[in-house]
Amino acid sequence: MSNLHADTVAYVRDTMLPEREPPASTVGFLGWGKENLFTGPFNTIVTVLCTLFVGWVLWSILPWVFTPTWNAASLKECQAIIAEMGRDGGHFAGACWGVIRDRWVQLLFGFYPSDLYWRPLLALALLVPALFPVLFTQAPRKLLWFSVLYPFLFPWLLWGGAVWAPLLVIASFVLAFAAYKITASASSSLLGIIVSVVVAVVCLVWGVSLVSGSIERVLGAARYESRLAEARENVATLTPEAERLEGERDALAAQIAERLASVDVPEGEGDGSYLALINDLADERAMLADLASEKAVVDRRLSTARTFVRQMESLPEWEAELPELRAEAEALRAAVPGELASIRSEQQLESYLEEIAEDDSLEAPAPEAVTAVEDAIEAEESVGDTERAIQSTYKDISRIGLETVGSRDFGGMMVSVTIGVVAIACSLPLGIVLALGRQSDLLIVKSLCVGFIEFIRGVPLITLLFVASTLLNIFLPPGTSFDIILRVIIMATLFASAYMAEVIRGGLAALPKGQYEGADSLGLDYWQAQRLIIMPQALKISIPGIVSTFIGLFKDTVLVSVIGILDPLGLSNSIRADQAWNGVVWELYGFIAVMFFIPCFAMSRYSMYLERRLQTGHR
C-alpha cells in the first residue's frame, strides 16, 4: 500500500499538466458551425433548408448576372448576344449590362459638366479626412480644424463661385461666435445664443450678399477690358475646334452607318454575322461616343463664352439706361392712385381685382388706374431685370474662383450624397437642441420644441419637399432666392432633426436620476452638466436609433425626384425612356440598390463598432 501511494499523484496537484490543442470540433469553422448552425435537430434542419434555398437562388441568378453583354449598345444587341448563347428570350434570360456601361457616369453625376467631374470627386475624397477625426478618436486632433472648414469647402467645390464666398460665410460665423462670447460674459448664455443666432442670420442673408456685391463691382470694373478681350479670344479659339469635332463625328457616324447597312439585320441575326459586325465596330462606336462627348463639352464652353461676350458688350448700355428706367418707374408709380399704390406685382393685382369682382360692396377701380398700376409694375420689372443683368455680368467678370454650376445640372448619386451628408451632419446637433428644449422648464421653449417635433413627425416628407419646392421662398425676406437643392436640404434637415430629437430624448429618459443629481453635487451649471455628464451617456445609449435615422434619411433622398430633381431613380426613368434601352429594368434598379447599400451598410457597421468600443450595454 505504501508503494502504491508513493507512485500516485497527490490529491492536491502541485504540478502543471502540459498544454494540449483544443478539440478540432470546437475551434475554427467547424467550431463556429457547431455553435451557431448545428446546435440541435431543429437548428440543423433550418440550416440545411436555408442552405438549399440560398443555393437554388444563386443557381437561378448567377447565370443571369454573368452574361457577356457589357459592350452592347442597346437592348436589341443584348438580346442578340443572349440568343447567340442559346438561351431563351425574355427579361430573365440574361442581364443587359450594356446600359450600366453606357450610363453609369450619368447615374453617378447626372448632368454635371464632364470636364468638372474632378470637383465632386475631390469633395468626396476630402470627406474622408474630414470625417476621420470625428468618427475615430485615434486620428490626430489637429484634423478637427479641417473638419470645421470642410462644410464651407464642400458647397464651394460643387456649386463653384467666387473664392471669397466661403470666406465671407466663415466670417459670418466668426462674428456670431464673437457676439455670443461678448453677450454671454456680459449677461447670460441663453441671451448670448439668441444674439449669436440673430447676428448669423443677418450676416448670411444680407451681409454676405452686400459685401460680395461690392467686391464684384470694384473688381469687375477694374478687369472689364482684359476680360472682354480674353472672352473674344476664347470664342475665336473654340469656334474652329467645335467645327472640327463636328466634322469628325459626322464622318465617323457615316462610316459606321455604311458598314451596318451592308448587312441585312433580320437575316444576319440568325447566322451571327450582324453580331460579329457589331463586335468589330466596338472601337468605332466607342470613338464616336468620345467625339460626341468632347463636342458637347466644347459646345457648352463656346455657348458660355458667346453669352459672356454679349453680356459684357451690353454692360455699358445697361448702366447708361438704368437711371432713365428708374426715373420712369418712379414717375409711373407716383401716378398710381390711392390704395393701388401698394400693389407691386401682377399676382397681387389679379388677386385684388378678383376680390373686388366677388364682393359687390367694394368699388371697382377706374380702368385708367388699373392701366397705371400695370405700367408701373412693368417699368419696375424692367428696372429689376436690368439691375440683375448688371449684377450678374459684374459677378462673371470679377470671378476669381471656380466656374458656377447650377443645381439643375446636379443629378444621380451626387444629389443623394450631397443632400444626405449635409442633412445628416446638421440634423444631429439640431436634434440635440430640440430634445433639450422639449425637456426644458421654460414654457415657451418647451412649447415651441414640442409643437415643431409633433408637426414635423405628423407630416410626410414628400409634403415638406413640395413646400420646399414651391412655398419656402414666400417665408423668406423679399428678394431672397434659395437654390432648389438648398431648399430640399433645409426641409430634409428639419424632418430628420424632429426624429433625431425623439431618439435622443429616449436616451435622456433612460439615464438614472442619480446622474443629474451627481452633476448638481459637483456644482456644474446646466450646460456643463449636459456637455460633460448627461449628453455623452445619452448619445451612447441612442447610437442604434441615431444611425437608423441617418440610414433612413439617406434612403429618403430618392423622394426628391417628385419635385424635378433627377436622383438615381429619376434618371433611371429617363434612361428607360431612351429607345435603345426601353425595357431594361432590373439592371438599373440593381445598380442603384448597390450604390445605396454600400454607404448604408458602412454606417450600420460603424454603429456596431462604436457600440462595442463605448460598451453601450453598460457591461
Residue 558 lies in a domain: yes
Q: What is the pLDDT of residue 125?
A: 92
Which CATH number fits the domain that encloses residue 472? 1.10.3720.10
Given 40, 61, 82, the domain boundary residue is: 61
Q: What is the pLDDT of residue 619?
A: 47
Q: Are 392 and 420 in a shared domain?
A: no
How far apart are alpha carbons 113 and 570 in whole angstroms? 18
The count of domains in the chain is 3
Q: What is the pLDDT of residue 133?
A: 87
Q: What is the pLDDT of residue 227?
A: 87
Task: Dump pLDDT digits (tens) for 72-104.
Answer: 888 888 888 888 877 765 556 788 888 898 889
Print the domain residue range for 185. Answer: 161-404
Residue 150 lies in a domain: no
How far apart are alpha carbons 207 and 480 in whole angstroms? 12
Cβ proximity of 235 and 302 under 8 Å: yes
Residue 85 lies in a domain: no
Q: What is the pLDDT of residue 430?
A: 92
Cβ proximity of 256 and 281 under 8 Å: yes
Residue 89 lies in a domain: no
pTM, two decimals, is 0.76
Task: Dump pLDDT digits (tens) for 560-604.
Answer: 888 888 888 888 888 888 888 888 888 899 999 999 999 999 999
How far apart are alpha carbons 72 and 580 in whole angstroms? 10
Given 41, 61, 81, the domain boundary residue is: 61
Q: What is the pLDDT of residue 268?
A: 43
Q: Are 190 and 250 in a shared domain?
A: yes
Minimal CA–CA distance to 362: which of 352, 374, 373, 347?
A: 352
Q: Are 377 and 490 in a shared domain?
A: no
C-alpha cell at 234: 476664347
Q: What is the pLDDT of residue 270?
A: 46
Q: Are 523 and 452 in a shared domain?
A: yes
Q: What is the pLDDT of residue 91?
A: 58
Residue 135 lies in a domain: no
In sequence order, which ranges of 336-457 are alpha helices (DSSP H)? 346-358, 367-398, 413-438, 443-457
Task: Dump pLDDT digits (tens) for 181-229.
Answer: 898 888 877 788 889 989 988 888 788 888 988 888 888 888 888 888 9
Neighbouring CB atoms inside 10 A of 219's CB total 18
How far apart are alpha carbons 249 and 279 in whole angstroms? 20
Residue 69 lies in a domain: no
Q: Are 515 and 393 in a shared domain?
A: no
Cβ proximity of 418 and 485 under 8 Å: yes
Q: Are 213 and 174 in a shared domain?
A: yes
Q: Are 367 and 435 in a shared domain?
A: no
Residues of the chain with pLDDT under 70: 1-11, 88-92, 260, 262-282, 362, 472-482, 616-619
**Ramachandran sector of residue 161 (left: φ over 0; alpha: ψ -120 to 50; beta: rest):** left
The end-to-end CA distance of the chain, in Å, is 54
One-letter amino acid for residue 363 of the chain: E
Q: Are 389 and 414 in a shared domain?
A: no
One-letter amino acid for residue 325 of the chain: L
Q: Are 389 and 537 in a shared domain?
A: no
Q: Are 397 and 430 in a shared domain?
A: no
Q: What is the pLDDT of residue 595?
A: 93
Residue 73 lies in a domain: no
How far apart are alpha carbons 372 and 376 in whole angstroms? 6
Given 353, 379, 404, the domain boundary residue is: 404
Q: Are 233 and 296 in a shared domain?
A: yes
Q: Are 354 and 464 in a shared domain?
A: no
Residue 147 lies in a domain: no
Cβ proximity of 108 and 412 under 8 Å: yes
